[in-house]
Amino acid sequence: MSVIIGAIVIGTILGIIGRLLLKGKQGIPWWATIGAGIVAAFVGGAIANGLGVGDTDGPDWIQFAIQIGVAVVAVAAVAALMGGGSKRDSLK
């Protein structure tokens, strides 16, 4: 049960950071942001483990940075798939 709660908490944090780092407004619901963050946590963790930096002494800052990068991509992909991608003002 604690793994599920941890995944939701970390996924929420990563999803929010991913949305903040993207330009424009992402018109996706909160549950999609959390879902993208959860996926980013697992995928980013797997990438970090594959690179050998997933488990280091002290805080795993490299793993967290990889997870944030994956979160940005995941939120952008969800926004594009749900039709809520960032909208740019066109010059008229």
CA distance 85 to 5: 28
The predicted model scores a pTM of 0.82
Residue 54, Cβ density class (10 Å: 0-12 exposed, 13-18 middle, ≥19 buried): middle
pLDDT tens per residue, the chain (92 residues)? 788 888 889 999 999 999 999 988 888 999 999 999 999 999 999 999 999 888 878 888 999 999 999 999 999 999 999 876 555 543 43
DSSP string, the chain: -HHHHHHHHHHHHHHHHHHHHSSS-----HHHHHHHHHHHHHHHHHHHHHHT-SS-SS--HHHHHHHHHHHHHHHHHHHHHTT----PPPP-
Angle at 88 between CA 84 and CA 92, to 5 degrees: 135
Q: Where are the domains of the chain?
A: 2-81
